[in-house]
Structure 1
Amino acid sequence: MRSIYIVEDDPDIRFILNTCLQEAGFEVSVFRSAGEFLNCFEDNFPDLYLLDVLLPDGDGIELCSQIKSHLRAAYIPVVIMSAHIPEERIVNSKANGFIRKPFDLDEIVETLRQLA
């Protein structure tokens, strides 16, 4: 089973993504904030990361940079999601994919299956 870590502060979006991706066959771990994610970051490594950009205590782009700079996690695909991010930040983020909010659940599942 492919595993995915999701960092998303909105409880409704977290619930929807968690439910949808579990039904699609992913083992899902969800984190409400950058700090919560970073506390567990080096414990285990998933097959894929899905990061929101605007977090209450950080930035998904910076989390992506930390992941891509980590020796054991650098190869793991990272997908960024946001409603309000300039294109140049996406290009410069080293992310493997981008999903614009609001999103289509089928599109998310397909994108993540291709990357995981």
Structure 2
Amino acid sequence: PDIGILSPYREQVNQLEALVREDELLAPLLQNGHLTINTIDGFQGQERDVVYISLVRSNNKHEIGFLQDYRRMNVAMTRARMALVVIGDSATIGENKFYQQFMDYCAEHGAYRTAWEYVG
């Protein structure tokens, strides 16, 4: 499957690309176009079989920055043909009504996971 990794922030895209280029298993996917890493804005109009979205924001003030632009999130969340994985700090984004409703929807459909489920 073709995979897309999206972030609202260019610097995270740059960091992810650098890490992927150093990985012997992932680098070929990036080179042959089966893996795309881009900003949400840069991905507009594209689709992939599987899309990962990093929400990036994590802070005690529950500030979500660019994530308040729900049009951007609509673009990001509608780009997956087969599977969508959204990764974020639920404590930070959960204070926002839109994201809380999204997390509730995921939980109701058995699709919500916490990182603590995967730790040791």
Given the two structures, how large is their TM-score scaled by the length of structure 1? 0.48
Q: Whose helix fraction is larger, Structure 1's or Structure 2's?
A: 2
